[in-house]
Amino acid sequence: MQPTLQLVSDRGMTSERTDRRLRRARSTRRRRAARGGGRAYAPVSGMRALVDDERGAVTAEYAIVIMAAVAFAGLLVAIMRSSEIRAMLVQLVENALGTAS
């Protein structure tokens, strides 16, 4: 038995199932348009299926969160390099612990 790699979207469906669902939705819209119901302009429904496709959305959200965390860490490093801020924080910790001289 040969191992296979299967891509899974953020909704837990395989990409094949998602593609099948999108194709089914497109064909349903085309049938309704042909009967006179629903949208009469088929390319709009095709574009809507592309817009509604959310594959990769979670990955983009993770990337944004990671970039924000890196920026915040950089800001903290810049602040901690300041000797005044460092002295103030050390004094604050010493006062909180009751070890101030």
Residue 27 lies in a domain: yes
Encode pLDDT of 7-53 as tens digits: 655 555 556 777 777 778 777 777 776 676 555 455 666 666 666 66
User: Do 12 and 51 sit in the same domain of this protein?
Assistant: yes
Contact 31, 15 (CB under 8 A): no
Alpha helices in 3-82 (DSSP H): 15-35, 42-52, 57-80
User: Do 19 and 50 sit in the same domain of this protein?
Assistant: yes
pLDDT of amino acid 53? 66
Give 52's contacts (C-beta < 8 A, 6+ positions apart): 22
User: Do 49 and 11 sit in the same domain of this protein?
Assistant: yes
